[in-house]
Amino acid sequence: MKELSLHLLDIAENSINAEASHIIISVEENSLDDILKMSVKDNGKGMTSEMAQRIMDPFITSRTTRKVGLGIPLLKAAAEMCNGFLHIESHPGSGTELIVQFQRSHIDRMPIGDLAGTILHLVVGSPVVHWTFIYKANDEIFEFDDQIIKQELNGIPLSEPIIISFIRNEISSGIKSLRLASDY
């Protein structure tokens, strides 16, 4: 994967497979501390600390479609290569949180990519999940909570073209406004 947003997509899909009903995706860019931090937190079935350590191994996967799981090990290696880390906190029955951090200015750090497109894909593709997206740039925060839209739509599918356009615009403009406000 050549973009961090695709790693977020992969991790969020793991949360969906873990039967999470609420998934929170956070991205924090801090130019003052030179940090890019991302997290995916869910209320899924969770896992033991032993399994959380084992998923760092590319030859461990819970998927039945293939025998290797490269997403998390590759993300961990990319973070460590950029003076960062990857940490997983999980407990059976109470969900999982994956946190990854990079030196924001590191020359080898992958670009974030199409963050708005990734969040849009997740929201529209898994409408039964409650999605919260938080983007923080220095001290400014943008938050997108799909529950607000779902309540307003009162049963109209999120897959309607005008709804898709609205969600994409909402997320894109929220991110863009903070990037401009933070001199990005």
What are the CA-CA distances from residue 120 to residues 24, 126, 184 (Å)? 14, 10, 23
Range of the domain at 176: 4-181
Q: Distance between CA 23 and CA 72 in Å, rounded? A: 17
Each residue of 41-67: pLDDT tens digit?
999 999 998 888 888 776 655 545 544
Q: Distance between CA 17 and CA 102 in Å, rounded? A: 26
pTM over 0.85: yes
Each residue of 73-87: pLDDT tens digit?
999 999 999 999 999
- Strand blocks (E) in 19-168: 22-30, 35-42, 85-91, 95-103, 130-137, 140-145
Count Cβ atoms below 10 Å from residue 147 Cβ, excluding itself.
11
Give the domain CATH number at 174: 3.30.565
Q: Total structural domains in the chain?
A: 1
